[in-house]
Amino acid sequence: MVTWTIAIAMLSLVMVIGAILNWGPVIQTVLSYMVLLVALAILHRIWSKTKAKRIEILEDQLNEMLEENKRLKEKAAQKAK
């Protein structure tokens, strides 16, 4: 998240300098890049959260499978005796 903040801060600085020097097209371009960066930052945050949730679900499923495997091995060992 820090890189997104730095990128937006740098674009804001360029926009302020452009406003002082009266660069109309530069300000419009920087604004469009800022909107794009903010949208990408939001999408990245959403994707990261869903990825973490998917990993958590897969870990739960793996733990259940390992427990079931352990139970089946114990049953097989008891039957072998």
Given this model, what pLDDT does residue 1 score? 58
Residue pair 37/63 in contact by the 8 Å Cβ criterion: no
- The number of C-alpha atoms within 13 Å of 52 and in the hemisphere containing its C-beta is 6
The mean pLDDT value of the chain amounts to 85
pLDDT exceeds cutoff 80 at 45: yes
pLDDT exceeds cutoff 70 at 56: yes
In tens, the pLDDT along 7-42 reads 778 878 887 887 788 878 877 787 888 888 888 888
What pTM was estimated for this model as a whole? 0.54
Q: Is the dihedral of CA 64, 65, 69, 75 positive or negative?
A: positive
